[in-house]
């Protein structure tokens, strides 16, 4: 068994954590490994099979910076996606109406422009 086969066997046997920070679509990813080169924390390991997405070897080291997504030539088609931690994927609720919304959602409800008790304070 050569080094590349040992590496592949090691990667395939690892336990996949419940929070994978990066998700690849194998039908879209061309295996160019630009994400591997862009990652500052060496989260990825190139796949030994040509044209296949890299392995997420060190998911706990991901900073969720998105540089791997920005370097991907096919990110707009969905080849690679960052799966944000649950803490940052929150719903917000308006106190007055009880309406739920998400930051960045298309056509969010308008903000509440009612001045707070005591009025607006000017910054000095």
pLDDT in tens, 47-101: 999 999 999 988 888 988 889 999 999 989 999 998 877 665 566 777 778 777 7
Pick from 11-15, 75-79, 108-112: least confident: 11-15
The secondary structure of 71-112 as a DSSP string is H-TTGGGTSEEE---GGGS--EE-TTT--EE-TT-SSPPPPP
pTM: 0.55
The fraction of the chain above a pLDDT of 70, given in percent, is: 70
In contact, 45 and 54? CB cutoff 8 Å: yes
The residue extents of the domains of the chain are 20-108
- Could you tell me the fold of the domain covering 20-108? Alpha-Beta Plaits (3.30.70)
């Amino acid at each position: 068994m050569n080094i590349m086969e040992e590496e592949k066997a090691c990667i395939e046997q690892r336990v996949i954590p419940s929070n994978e920070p990066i998700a690849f679509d194998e039908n879209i990813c061309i295996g160019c490994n630009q994400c591997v080169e862009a990652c500052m924390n060496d989260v990825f390991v190139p796949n030994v099979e040509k044209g296949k997405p890299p392995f997420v070897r060190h998911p706990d080291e991901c900073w969720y910076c998105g540089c791997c997504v920005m370097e991907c030539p096919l990110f707009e088609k969905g080849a690679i996606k960052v799966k944000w931690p649950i803490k940052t994927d929150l719903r917000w609720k308006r106190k007055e109406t009880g309406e739920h919304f998400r930051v960045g959602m298309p056509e969010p409800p308008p903000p509440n422009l009612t001045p707070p008790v005591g009025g607006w304070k000017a910054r000095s």
